[in-house]
């Protein structure tokens, strides 16, 4: 499936984006390990999160839904999972595979985690190495890529691990493994990353201990308690209509019920530094997370050097930020973002190639990008099967002088089902074929 987007357009109105993908993954996992019935609303019915739900069904967990975003999970307790009859297929879900590796490393049954072609190229050494330090018996393909083969062990042991990179996935993997470890498991981060796992563990009755950049969980058989909560809209999905409204020639947009966890709001800080007119309205707490409505108006943007401390807080939003930078006056410099190299695609290369194809001067750096604001022309962009690359470059047509075509967009459904319909309703002249 390709996107074809006609040039120009006005973005206006109000909308809601799908539920947060990171939270949806974690909700299923912890509800499955809890004792009793958990219910949550706002669940993202995307391919990635559905793969996580299917994995737990294969391990004997009863999951009803999603029905209009509502999911009911009958938890089996920490030690109630059963060996699946075959490999667990995580599709394109890197979050699902890395977190499950931690959760399953301490089970007394073996399991194999597989994925699609894209996921099978993604690096897993970052979780394999510390899990092996905890005593896990894990095999992988050459280069420590999937499939991951987790063999049964008696028990993991807690470790005190310093992350070599800022990664919420690795941190969460080790904290989930810590549920099954003897003693205390601690993780120290070089920079803050999203803390959904910590918030959710507390909601299920297992609070963690935090001392600055170090977070710890105690092992043992303390049960998780079933709970119910609402999952807010995903700020990573909100990034696309948000940037669209900023770069369109005119318009005002209200994006309702978006999660504004402070470990996820780097995109708002970056865009405001570029001159974006963004307001947070109706700020409130919903479930385990802070939530707000985001009002955004068309703005004249200027290039900036993105503060490196904001990079981990906006790591998934850089494809959209890059398109905004291409529409800004002057130069935007992004550094400290080497993590972009190991996402669903090499996003540094994918962004650079896409901007070049549409007439924007850009330099790919080992850990980022140097982007000169300019005029988008029409052209063809390769998404490399990466959902965020596909959605980001669909926005470029708002400022282009000719149509923009984006190839291989089928994976948009992994995080944003209904993207084309929603953006059409707001004024983007986008077609999928």
Active site members: 316
Give me the helix-helix angle, 196-203 and 168-178, nearest 10°. Answer: 30
Neighbours of 279 (CB within 10 A): 11
Q: State how far the Cα of 229 lies from the Cα of 38, in Å rounded to an integer.
A: 8
* Contact yes or no for 311/337 (Cβ under 8 A): yes
Would you say 161 and 130 are in contact if contact means Cβ atoms under 8 Å apart?
Answer: yes
Nearest residue to 110 via CA among 80, 138, 79: 138
86 burial type by CB count under 10 A (0-12 exposed, 13-18 middle, 19+ buried): exposed
Residue 355's closest CA among 335, 387, 380, 328? 380
Count CB atoms within 10 A of the CB of residue 339.
20
SS3 at position 51: helix
- Residues 6 or more apart whose Cβ sits within 8 Å of residue 409: 1, 2, 3, 383, 387, 390, 432
**Among candidate residues 298, 375, 391, 413, the one with its CA nearest the CA of residue 7:** 375
What stretches of 252-299 adopt beta strand conformation (E)?
252-259, 277-286, 289-297
CB of 382 closer than 8 Å to CB of 407: yes
Neighbours of 149 (CB within 10 A): 16
DSSP strand E in 160-317: where?
A: 160-162, 181-182, 184-188, 209-211, 214-218, 224-225, 228-230, 252-259, 277-286, 289-297
The Cα-based distances of 354 to 208, 357, 429 in angstroms read: 42, 5, 19
Q: What are phi and psi of 118, to 5 degrees?
A: -65, -50
Helix (H, G, I), strand (E, B), or coil: what is residue 66?
Answer: strand
Both tokens of 352, joined, read: 């650079």
């Amino acid at each position: 499936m390709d996107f074809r987007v006609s040039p120009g357009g006005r973005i206006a109105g109000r909308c809601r984006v799908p539920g947060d993908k990171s939270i949806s993954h974690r909700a299923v996992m912890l509800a499955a390990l809890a004792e009793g019935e958990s219910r949550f609303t706002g669940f993202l019915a995307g391919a990635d999160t559905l793969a996580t739900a299917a994995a737990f069904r294969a391990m004997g967990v009863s999951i009803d839904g999603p029905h209009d975003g509502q999911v009911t999970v009958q938890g089996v307790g920490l030690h109630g999972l059963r060996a699946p009859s075959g490999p667990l297929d995580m599709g394109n879900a890197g979050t699902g595979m890395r977190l499950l590796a931690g959760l399953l490393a301490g089970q007394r049954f073996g399991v194999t985690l597989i994925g699609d072609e894209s996921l099978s190229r993604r690096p897993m050494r970052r979780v394999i190495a510390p899990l092996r330090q905890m005593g896990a018996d894990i095999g992988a393909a050459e280069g420590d890529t999937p499939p991951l083969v987790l063999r049964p062990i008696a028990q993991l042991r807690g470790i005190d691990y310093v992350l070599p990179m800022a990664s919420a996935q690795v941190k969460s993997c080790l904290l989930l493994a810590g549920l099954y470890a003897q003693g205390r498991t601690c993780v120290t981060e070089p920079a803050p990353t999203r803390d959904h796992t910590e918030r959710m563990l507390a909601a299920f009755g297992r609070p963690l201990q935090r001392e600055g950049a170090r977070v710890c969980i105690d092992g043992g058989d303390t049960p998780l308690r079933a709970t119910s909560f609402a999952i807010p809209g995903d700020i990573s999905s909100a990034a696309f209509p948000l940037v669209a409204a900023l770069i369109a020639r005119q318009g005002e947009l209200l994006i309702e019920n978006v999660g504004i966890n402070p470990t996820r709001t780097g995109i708002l800080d970056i865009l405001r530094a570029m001159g974006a007119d963004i307001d947070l309205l109706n700020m409130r707490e919903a479930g385990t997370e802070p939530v707000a409505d985001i009002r955004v108006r068309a703005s004249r943007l200027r290039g900036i050097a993105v503060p490196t401390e904001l990079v981990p807080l906006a790591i998934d939003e850089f494809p959209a930020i890059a398109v905004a930078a291409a529409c800004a006056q002057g130069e935007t410099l992004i550094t400290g973002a080497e993590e972009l190299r190991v996402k669903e695609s090499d996003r540094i290369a994918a962004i650079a190639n896409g901007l070049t194809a549409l007439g924007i001067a850009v330099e790919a750096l080992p850990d980022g990008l140097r982007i000169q604001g300019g005029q988008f022309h029409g052209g063809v962009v390769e998404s490399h099967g990466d959902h965020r690359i596909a959605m980001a470059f669909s926005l470029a047509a708002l400022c282009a002088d000719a149509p923009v075509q984006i190839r291989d967009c089928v994976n948009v459904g992994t995080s944003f089902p209904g993207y084309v319909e929603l953006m059409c309703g707001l004024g983007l002249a986008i077609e999928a074929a």
